[in-house]
A and B are shown apart, each in its own frame.
Chain A
Amino acid sequence: MKESKIMLIQYITGIFILVLGALHFLAISALAPTSDKVLYQYANNSTSTHTLTGGTLYYTTVTTIYHTLFWGSIFELLLTFLVFHIFNGFRIILSEQFPGDRSEKAITYIMLVAGLIIFIWGSKTVVTMLLGGGL
């Protein structure tokens, strides 16, 4: 693929990430399915051991978000765009640091494999949770 086309995709994915990333932030803050929007709620803050009892990052809150088709789709789309944007960004930076046709090819393949691993790993969480996963 031409570099100009790849850069265009880089810009487009960046814009999508901006929108979906903002939604992701809202999912664990203003739109979280809790009355209190605080991130962490502890049983007793004065002790050295902290027991989480609520908050937007509490297990049941997060699973409720994950089990929704809307949020699951948002997270999966965000992951897809992020993986492309980040690993293409890494590829550009590394190719500049290690110039040459051979190294550029090697960097491209390494980034492709690394990106796929992260994509599969992240997708496994999103899809499993969407199908009712979590203990």
Chain B
Amino acid sequence: MAIENKKGWIFWFNPLKYSSDKWLYALHRLTGIALGLYLMAHVFETSRILDGPITWNSTMVFLDWPFGVHFGPYILSGILLAATFHALNGLRLTITESGLLMPKPYRIEYPYKAKSLRGWNMVLKILLGIFMIIISIFGIVYIFTGVIL
């Protein structure tokens, strides 16, 4: 039986007690919530296309220039960063939690060093960082300039 998280969501953020895995987990949840809320707004926003070109184009302009401020690219960049992180970390979780990289059963030998996912998990975290930087650069440059690198 699972142990109850009696401290609620605040327990996701405890820098003293946990490793980087825990921070990635907290960020995974936060980006998941943000992207979930974005999906609802996105479904509403895209449904405006059924109202014709005037409504659609003015909706797009509003999203690019909300309340007269050119803030749209920053919002889009935020969504891109959240989605990229959530996707890459999700891949890492899928691989590690389903035990895809677990070593085969082995006979224990001196010096009794436990084989685990530790090394692979670190490799995956480094790869996450590298891909995060690459995708973010390509995506943000495109959002702000329209240039595909």
Chain A positions near chain B (C-beta within 8 angstroms): 11, 14-15, 17-18, 21, 29-30, 36-40, 48, 50-52, 55, 57-60, 62-63, 66, 79, 82-83, 86-87, 89-90, 93, 96-97, 99, 118, 121-122, 124-125, 128-129, 133-135
Chain B positions near chain A (C-beta within 8 angstroms): 4-5, 8-9, 29, 32-33, 35-36, 39-40, 43-44, 46-47, 49-53, 56-57, 60-61, 64-65, 68, 72, 76, 83, 87, 90-91, 93-94, 97-98, 142-143, 145-146, 148
Q: Main secondary structure on chain B at its contact with chain A?
A: helix
| Contact, CB under 8 Å: B61 / A128 | no
| Contact, CB under 8 Å: A93 / B50 | no
Residues of B within 8 A of A21 (CB): 83, 87
Residues of A within 8 A of B8 (CB): 97
B63 — nearest CB in chain A belongs to which residue? A57
Taken together as a complex, chains A and B put the C-alpha atoms of A96 and B3 apart, in Å, by 10
The answer to whether A11 and B94 touch (CB under 8 A), given A63-B49, A118-B40, A125-B50, is yes
A87 — nearest CB in chain B belongs to which residue? B36
